[in-house]
């Protein structure tokens, strides 16, 4: 597949001294290109409107009707003929006979002729003959009610322009128009628009099913007792949560032990998935089981990517039991590395499958409040807490940046980037920040 396919056993471990640049390493962009080249938009599915939130519309939506279907009133008031109220004022009120009432959802049963009006509610169809609605405030309606007078007549106090408060049929959408184009993301407003056209199911690009497999003899599952020498598997959880957050459907396969048979068996459960994400066992110094099995079951590449955290990355494909080819991404084992590698490579891959075009995360420019070190010429993604203060974004490193320190990921809402060609960034310097969360606190 590529010259970076290190499938052989007992590969000599390179040691990278301080500041040494490994020429074998892929840039983040190279790794990104190679991964994304293997993904494409999935097929569509048709499903209930409310279940389509966040998915990509896979059909053009044309309106089968006009919206509103009929001209209707924008106010509570009187539907009348403008010619009857020309010159009306408080000094010169125009008196009209009230011949009926129409509420929203009901059809008027009379025509408005000269000298007459129909009492009308917001959203009710405009009666034939009427061309204007005068709101109650511009009539003696309130006064009549207060005095207990019947509402069989009304005095109009204002000469409102013709068509005033009449919402024409088709004002929002005319029949047959293209209302929503395929390719857009369905949000709450689109769900509302589609429902307003009377449709309760639509075609959207289906969500990918992404298998999650942790590997390692040291792992135990949360909710079970912890034996000596073991740790709880957090990667399955953080990765599954990230898959769901990216719009995929996670399928947790559990923990594969560092044994040929167990890993082989566990990988068989990936049948029918659109992507398999494993964690651990892919770095250069690792015991070779994961690499061996992946190589046996498909075609794998083991890369070093010029980034910190998350240098090791495996990517290739598995052949499933039905002879289908499934892309597989092997994330590094360290919990922060696994999450950052997911951000950089798995999230965009999932978005391609979902048919989403724009970059997964917004970037902002901001000022660092603490230093970021770059010791060996990699692109550093530093966990930072971003806040908007005094007109600028401020990024504060969230503490120790070791790839095993998951709590500093939990405190972060962004990843600040130190480019590979800089020895670091000092407090006060400008940085680009990938926003992981974009909440009110940041948006102000």
C-alpha 340: how far from chain center: 18
Q: Which two tokens stand for residue 321?
A: 């039991």
| Least gap, CB of 214 to ligand AMP (angstroms) | 4
332 near Mg ion, rule: CB under 5 A: no
Q: Which does 283 bind (CB under 5 to 8 A by kind): ligand AMP, Mg ion, none?
A: ligand AMP
CA-based torsion, 27, 404, 218, 213: positive or negative: negative
| Least gap, CB of 416 to ligand AMP (angstroms) | 23
Helix (H) or strand (E) holding 242: helix 235-246
Angle at 340 between CA 337 and CA 341, to 5 degrees: 80
Q: Binding residues for ligand AMP, per CB under 6 A?
A: 214, 216, 218-219, 231, 233-236, 279-281, 283, 286, 332-335
x/- site string to Mg ion, residues 43 to 62, per CB under 5 A? --------------------
| Phi, psi of 241, deg, nearest 5 | -65, -40
**DSSP letter for each residue of 400-416:** ---TT-THHHHT-SEEE
Q: Which two tokens stand for residue 413?
A: 């809402």
Rounded CA-CA distance 382/409 in Å is: 9
- Of 273 and 280, nearer to Mg ion (C-beta) is 280
Kindly indicate which of the ranges 96-104, 279-287, 336-344, 392-400 contains the residues binding Mg ion, using the contact rule CB under 5 A.
279-287
Beta strand pairing call for 312-319 and 61-62: unpaired
| Least gap, CB of 330 to Mg ion (angstroms) | 11
| Least gap, CB of 216 to ligand AMP (angstroms) | 5
Q: Which two tokens stand for residue 334?
A: 């360290």
Torsion of CA 35, 41, 45, 48, to 10 degrees: 80
- Of 156 and 280, nearer to ligand AMP (C-beta) is 280
280 near Mg ion, rule: CB under 5 A: yes
- Of 44 and 342, nearer to Mg ion (C-beta) is 342
Q: Which does 235 bind (CB under 5 to 8 A by kind): Mg ion, ligand AMP, none?
A: ligand AMP
| Least gap, CB of 34 to Mg ion (angstroms) | 24
x/- site string to Mg ion, residues 198 to 227, per CB under 5 A? ------------------x-----------
Determine the residue with CB nearest ligand AMP: 333
Q: Which two tokens stand for residue 82?
A: 């403008």
Surface-to-core class of residue 94, CB atoms within 10 Å of its CB (0-12 exposed, 13-18 middle, 19+ buried): buried
Determine the residue with CB nearest Mg ion: 216
C-alpha 305: how far from chain center: 27
- Of 173 and 340, nearer to ligand AMP (C-beta) is 340
- Of 209 and 280, nearer to Mg ion (C-beta) is 280
> Which residues make up the interface to Mg ion (CB under 5 A)?
216, 280-281
């Amino acid at each position: 597949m590529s010259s970076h396919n290190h499938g052989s056993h007992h590969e000599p471990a390179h040691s990278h001294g301080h500041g040494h640049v490994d020429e074998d390493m892929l840039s983040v962009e190279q790794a990104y290109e190679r991964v994304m080249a293997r993904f494409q938009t999935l097929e569509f599915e048709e499903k209930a409107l409310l279940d389509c939130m966040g998915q990509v519309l896979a059909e053009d939506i044309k309106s089968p009707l006009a919206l509103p279907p009929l001209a209707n009133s924008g106010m509570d008031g009187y539907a009348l003929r403008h010619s009857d109220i020309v010159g009306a004022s408080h000094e010169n009120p125009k008196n009209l006979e009230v011949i009926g009432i129409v509420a929203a959802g009901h059809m008027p049963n009379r025509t408005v002729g000269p000298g007459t009006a129909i009492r009308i509610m917001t959203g009710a169809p405009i009666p034939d003959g009427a061309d204007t609605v005068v709101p109650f405030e511009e009539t003696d309606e309130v006064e009549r009610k207060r005095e207990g007078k019947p509402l069989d007549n009304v005095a109009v106090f204002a000469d409102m322009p013709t068509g005033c408060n009449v919402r024409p049929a088709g004002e929002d959408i005319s029949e047959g128009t293209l209302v929503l184009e395929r390719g857009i993301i369905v949000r709450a407003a689109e769900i509302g628009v589609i429902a307003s056209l009377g449709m309760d199911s639509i075609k959207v690009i289906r969500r990918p099913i992404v298998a999650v497999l942790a590997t390692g003899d040291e792992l135990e599952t949360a909710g079970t007792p912890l034996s000596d020498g073991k740790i709880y598997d957090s990667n399955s959880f953080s990765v599954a949560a990230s898959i769901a957050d990216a719009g995929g459907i996670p399928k947790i396969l559990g923990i594969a032990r560092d044994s040929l048979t167990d890993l082989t068996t566990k990988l068989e459960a990936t049948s029918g998935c659109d992507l398999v994400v494993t964690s651990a066992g892919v770095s250069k110094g690792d015991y070779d089981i994961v690499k061996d099995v992946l190589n046996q079951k498909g075609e794998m590449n083991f890369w070093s990517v010029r980034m910190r955290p998350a240098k090791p990355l495996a990517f290739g494909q598995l052949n499933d039991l039905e002879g289908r080819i499934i892309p597989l991404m092997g994330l590094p084992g360290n919990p922060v590395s696994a999450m950052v590698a997911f951000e950089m490579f798995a999230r965009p891959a999932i978005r391609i499958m979902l048919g989403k075009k724009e970059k997964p995360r917004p970037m902002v420019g901001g000022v660092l409040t603490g230093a970021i070190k770059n010791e060996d010429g990699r692109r550093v993604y530093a966990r930072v807490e971003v806040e908007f203060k005094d007109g600028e974004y401020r990024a504060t490193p969230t503490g120790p940046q070791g790839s095993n320190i998951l709590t500093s990921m939990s405190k972060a809402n962004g990843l600040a980037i130190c480019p590979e060609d800089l020895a670091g960034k000092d407090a006060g310097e400008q940085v680009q920040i990938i926003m992981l969360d974009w909440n009110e606190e940041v948006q102000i």
